[in-house]
Structure 1
Amino acid sequence: MTELRSNRAEIAKIDGDTPTMRLLALLEVIAAKDQLVTLQGLVEETGLPKPTLHRMLQQLEAAGMLQRDSDGRQYGTGARLRRLAENLLLNDTIHGARHAVLRQLVEEVGESCNITALSGSEVLYLDRVETAAPLRFYLHPGSRVPAHCSASGKLFLAQMTPAQRRRLLANAPLMQYTTRTLTNLNALEAEIEQVRELGYAFDNEEFLPGLFCIAVLVPAPEGRSNMGIAMQAPIMRMTERNALDSLPALRRAASALAAIEADSAGSSQAECA
């Protein structure tokens, strides 16, 4: 009986007053997963009839919100849905509060800092504050860097299972940007294992010659985070040793960002109630 009630709760996720609302509910179910989904898997999870789900998936695929894997049997988020998510991250209403945390961090550490998120196989800069120092690397919000050669990217990859990483990187070859870029999958896996143990990551001239970066994740209540905070500087001002001196400040900023996200989520739930 308990199992039956649980199944009904799952089915309720796809309920809605209109076909559009039911499509949105299905998108929410799929977007919450960290792996591709199949028609049969969704049938078992939601309890909806296979013809109904097949029609809904076709509609979402035609709209660019979903896309099928190369085998044609698995579905994942489409380009249009990812662009929507990126635009929400870049332009949401708590941008000002996050920017204030970032500006305070830059004042404390004296180097350029940015807030990041994973978008496909790339790291997206959600916000950035530049140092006042005359020598700096200018990168604006909206910039993208490959995950495999960025400090934030390594942290995002470290949260995945090896199978998830392989699937992600299979469509994004490990391009070499500098002599230090890790282009061997085994070497990258070893680096990611170390990152997982340490809780922070470096980019030591792996994307741009002369640029050093250290990053940490913003804690998330569900465990897996899609927000990082990073500090960057020319190698003449930053080494691995003095980058670690700034690690406590980075972690304090990450905790402040997590509190902002939690407050925003709590306010949204209160408004809905």
Structure 2
Amino acid sequence: MTRQKSDMTTLDGDTPAQRLLALLEVIAEKDQFFSLQSLVTETKLPKPTLHRMLQQLESSGMLQREADSRYYSRGSRLRRLAENLLLNDTVHGARHAVLSQLVEEIGESCNITALSGGEVLYLDRVETSEALRFYLHPGSRVPVHCSASGKLFLAQMPPAQRKRLLNEAPLKAFTRNTLTNLEALEAEIEGVHQSGYAFDDEEFLSGLICIAVLATHADGRRSNLGIAIQAPIMRMSREKALEYLPALQRAANAIAAIDCGSMPQRPSHNKKIKKR
């Protein structure tokens, strides 16, 4: 992960591999050749350290030297990696199509989420065409205790795991509706477990209501994909949100089917061995 500080980019990472990936992020943003010295100036890393990192990337085919050997550019392996990601990312495209169809059907913003540590990560989002809306772009993160999807992820955890996660950070109040008492949150989670859907009733942002369900697996495995509808309270009440529940569930089932179809088939161990 890279962080920008004024004109300086810092490379985060606890291991050499993570710092190499952070350096690749910096390189991927460049639209022209670059030199060792320009990266030293940009990152403020020691020249020997950066030289060693560039050598590793060059030897792996991720980078290549240009004619005068002073400048680097992206190597064929890195370009091939980017191309393959674009060519083969049909899962994201298929999920996005389902999300777009749901937004067209109900007229409100919808998103796909996943649990990441103690937060809910927005994997994808399609905005409503309404003028009044809340902007939460893909990559946004929301604390798990005040998110509709977060409550669903918590509800499928064993109690010990859920307690461990919730004890790691205080239940911060974002609005007057945020559940900051562990017993109250547990009671809410029990209701979510029974109903199969969850609300964020102005718990993260005042004026915003959300309903979510999980994209559940047919074999009963725990799911790490949620799909949610969000809207201002002047357009969507809890009662109105429940009217959208069938459409939301159909979209969740479609997304679960996409993910199931993208999983490699496990080899069968029940086939009879032919005798020779």
Q: Hey, what does 1:161 align to over in structure 2?
A: 158
- Count residues in correspondence: 185
2:144 to 141, 147, 150: 147
Residue 232 of structure 1 pairs with residue 245 of structure 2: no
| Structure 2 match to 1:248 | 246
Q: Which residue of 1 aligns with 2:53?
A: none
TM-score (norm 1): 0.64
Letter in 2 for 1:232: Q
Query: Quick one: which of 118, 122, 128 aligns to 1:121?
Result: 118
Residues 81-120 of structure 1 mapped to structure 2, 5 A cutoff: 92-120=89-117
Distance of 1:200 and 1:139 partners within structure 2: 21
Matched residues in 1 for 2:17 and 2:205: separation? 34
**CA-CA distance at 1:219 after TM superposition:** 1.0
Give the corresponding residue for 2:192.
Answer: 195
Structure 2, unmatched stretches of 5+, are 1-13, 19-84, 268-276
**CA apart distance, 1:92:** 4.9
For residue 117 of structure 1, give the secondary structure of its aligned residue in structure 2.
Answer: strand
Cα deviation, 1:26-84, whole Å, max 9, x if unaligned, reads: xxxxxxxxxxxxxxxxxxxxxxxxxxxxxxxxxxx96799xxxxxxxxxxxxxxxxxxx
Question: Match of 1:94, SS?
Answer: helix
TM-score (norm 2): 0.64
Q: Give how far 1:223 is off.
A: 2.2
* AA aligned opposite 2:139: G
Query: Does 1:214 find its partner at 2:211?
Result: yes
Aligned-partner Cα distance in 2 for 1:196–1:110: 28
Between Structure 1 and Structure 2, whose CA radius of gyration is higher? Answer: 2
Task: State the percentage of identical aligned residues.
Answer: 70
| C-alpha distance after superposition, 1:177-218 (max 9, x if no partner) | 000000000000000000000000000000000000000000
* The one of 252, 256, 259 aligned to 1:258: 256
RMSD of aligned Cα (Å): 2.1
Which structure 2 residues correspond to residues 32-111 of structure 1 after superposition, within 5 A? 92-111=89-108
Match of 2:181 in 1: 184
Q: C-alpha separation between the residues in 2 aligned to 1:168 and 1:129?
A: 29
Q: Distance in 2 between matches of 1:222 and 1:198?
A: 16
Deviation above 2 Å: which 4+ runs of structure 1?
Answer: 61-65
The one-letter amino acid paired with 1:262 is C
Rounded to whole Å, the distance in 2 between the matches of 1:187 and 1:262 is: 35
- Matches of 1:215 and 1:92, distance apart in 2: 25
Aligned partners of 1:233 and 1:172: how far apart in 2?
28
As a proportion of its length, which structure holds more helix?
1
Q: Would the alpha carbon gap of residues 62 and 135 (structure 1) be closer, same or farther in structure 2, given more than 3 Å must change?
A: closer
